[in-house]
Amino acid sequence: MPASENRPSLAVALATTADSVAAWLDGAIACSGAPGARLSAAMRHATLAGGKRLRPFLVIESAALFGVPSHAAMPAAAALECIHCYSLVHDDLPAMDNDDMRRGRPTVHRAYDEATAILAGDGLLTLAFEILADDATDADPAVRLALVASLARAAGVAGMIGGQMLDLAAEGRFAEGAAHGVPLDLPADSIIELQAMKTGALLRHACEAGALLGRASPPERASLDRYARAVGRAFQIADDLLDVEGEAGLVGKAVGKDAAAGKATLVGKLGIEGARAELARLVSEAEAALADFGSAATLLVEAAYFIADRRN
């Protein structure tokens, strides 16, 4: 899909966002008051190792639909990235997915130790809400409160944390409901619900945050939410396809782990071709959701295609 003549390309916009978010987070960690060098170094290891910064990009571009400049959306974008990075640190721990590599580098518990990794993740989690509560995030306390509530729901037991628990249960990690160590054969609807919580909730919050900053109308917020729901599902399917077909050197982490762990995925349920067909349908759904925004939503539409086609 061609970019608008008056706007940067998606690649440029993503790179600009990534650089800006990294610089902002570096400053926020420096000012966080973390004692000693080890904890702040581990927090930096978790947040400054690259990455697409897709979630902050969605905050910034959703806010831009309503005339909010990128610097004004940056605190909310950075807060969301803190949550995302903390979740990766904890997800990589031996008790969870037990990964040694993340973004082409040793995971935090490998580079430091498990206790430091847990505390670094906790530090990023709490830093996110400190950022959102600050006057610099938005002059209106009602908007700040709405941002805090939205992110807490997305990251909590009704969102990412709950989805992670369902994901572990589907692997047969726990005795109740299945023999320990025997994966559950979940129906497709249950897998979609699990993934909407584990992965989709933070992506929905990204678009909701932009809408809150931009004082969007209820219909505008509903359109962005439809887009975010479709993008969230597409992101997870693309991620699951990468685990089956990707190369570890390009993906930046181990591949082939989902099947080995008995994870519940739509790729496993639908097969590769069925998953690809569903991915294409979701991208079309995301594009249609933004039709009323016209060319102002070009980069968000391009982002949906990028998510479906990504190689890492």
> In this predicted structure, what is the pLDDT of residue 179?
55
The amino acid present at 54, given as its one-letter code, is: L
CB 132 within 8 A of CB 151: yes
Name the one residue in this structure whose structure tokens are 């994901």. 167
Spatial neighbors of 20 by CB under 8 A, at least 6 apart, are: 70, 74
Work out the percent of the chain whose per-residue pLDDT is above 70.
Answer: 89
| Cα–Cα dist 202/178, whole Å | 29
Tell me the average confidence (pLDDT) per consecutive run of 10 residues in the chain, 312 residues long: 60 96 97 94 94 96 98 98 98 95 94 98 98 98 98 98 93 68 80 95 98 98 98 94 73 57 82 94 98 98 95 74
The confidence score (pLDDT) of residue 184 equals 73
For position 60, what pLDDT does the model report? 98
* Dist CA 36 CA 119 (whole Å): 13
pTM: 0.91
For residue 180, the model assigns a pLDDT of 61
Contacts of 222 (CB under 8 A, 6+ apart): none
Q: How high is the pLDDT of residue 1?
A: 39
pLDDT at 2: 36
Provide, for the chain, the percentages of residues in helix, strand and coil under a 3-state DSSP scheme, each rounded to the nearest 5. Answer: 70, 0, 25
| CA-CA-CA-CA dihedral for 188, 189, 191, 194, to nearest 10 | 180
Would you tell me how many other CB atoms lie within 10 Å of the CB of residue 256? 12
